[in-house]
Structure 1
Amino acid sequence: MNSLPENLQAAGLEDHPLPGFLPMPRAGFVAQCTGLYYHPDTTVMAARIRPEHLNPLGIAHGGFLATLADTAFGRTLRLRSGTDQPPATINLSMDYLAPARMGAWIEAHVQVHRVGRMLYHASLDLLDGERLVARAKATFIGNTASLHGGARKT
């Protein structure tokens, strides 16, 4: 049985990840986002652009690409800091440079610039093969009790 939506099948597009990539666990907000994948041996995340990711112009919606970026940052920084909980995004800046079309395999490659005691800084490239689709930079606050419902200091 083919699990692709009919319009993706009709376009002759496959939603299969590249070798080594696994479907992103579906929890929280990311559970609403189809087509997200991660590579368990690297920090690379990716998405197959599907019909539900498109904006009215027929290209990937900037919000979806920002979700891919933010999720890739969180996963990479969680792995890098050695904690079970991801840090929280303080600032995320995106520069959209080229359209991502339906069926494209978009990879998020994160560069960690600094992991401090509380703040983390990173940037990433979203790539369609060798073509740069978007760049992002972000600042995060490390895992603290207040981020996860712990007591607030007043």
Structure 2
Amino acid sequence: MSTPPTANATPQIPPGFRPIAAGGPYMQHNGPLYLRHEAGLVRFGFRVEARHCNPMGNLHGGMMASFCDMLLPLSAHRTVAEVAHRFLPTVSLQLDYLAPAPEGCWVEGEATVLRTTRSLVFIQGLVTADGTPCVRASGVFKIGPEMPQGARP
């Protein structure tokens, strides 16, 4: 388990991850999120801060749901050319919470596009907390309009 960062310290981010601006003002407020995209491997992550936690000192389920709701479509943007610049609003999102993600831990997820139709993308993913599986996610996303140049992830 990781040691929580002190209030004045910058959280340590694993090598290869860089900050990503995606998800609009909501995720900018709740982030930052980080991306590692190397040789076909796409991973997203963030460090659990006190502001992300429930009263038990673990990542709040709502924050985890928000992370998964970004992880799945952002992964599709980077792996499926047909949806790379399309808005992918959520039709359905299912989460199985497997283990807690305590304050200070590194949460990291990767996802796989299972199927793309003319109007939908089906995606599944796995999220870990310091390497321990903590959430299994799956979702269906509508292939929406092309996003404006400045809003592309």
Asked if Structure 1 and Structure 2 have the same fold, meaning a TM-score greater than 0.5 normalized by the shorter chain, the answer is: yes
Paired residue secondary structure (1:71): helix
Q: Which moved more, 1:28-37 or 1:49-58?
A: 28-37
Q: 1:140 to 1:90 in 2, by over 3 A?
A: same
Identity among equivalent pairs (%): 25
Gaps of 5+ in 2: 149-153
Q: Could you list the runs of 5+ residues in structure 1 that have no partner in the other structure?
A: 1-6, 149-154
Q: Distance in 2 between matches of 1:107 and 1:21?
A: 10
Partner residue, 1:19:
15
Runs of 4+ in structure 1 off by over 4 angstroms are none
Q: What's the CA shift for 1:36? A: 1.7
Q: Secondary structure at the match of 2:37?
A: coil
Give the whole-Å Cα distance in 2 for the aligned partners of 1:40 and 1:8. Answer: 25
1:90 aligns with 2:122: no
- Which shows bigger deviation, 76-85 or 111-120? 76-85
Could you say which structure has the higher strand fraction? 2
Which residue number corresponds to residue 29 of structure 1?
Answer: 26
**DSSP-derived class of the 1:68 partner:** helix
Q: Which moved more, 1:111-120 or 1:77-86?
A: 77-86
8 Å contact 1:8–1:51 — kept in the other structure? no
State the Cα RMSD in Å.
2.4
TM-score, normalised via structure 1 length: 0.80
The CA deviation string for residues 57-96 of structure 1, in whole angstroms up to 9 with x for no partner, is 2100011111111111121112233232331110001111
Once the two structures are superposed, residues 2-60 of structure 1 have per-residue CA deviations (whole angstroms, 9 ceiling, x without a partner) of xxxxx8316x9861210010112163321111342111323210111011100112100
Q: 1:77 and 1:86, CA in 2 relative to 1: closer, same or farther beyond 3 A?
A: farther
Larger radius of gyration: 1
Aligned length: 140
Equivalent position of 1:4 in the other structure: none
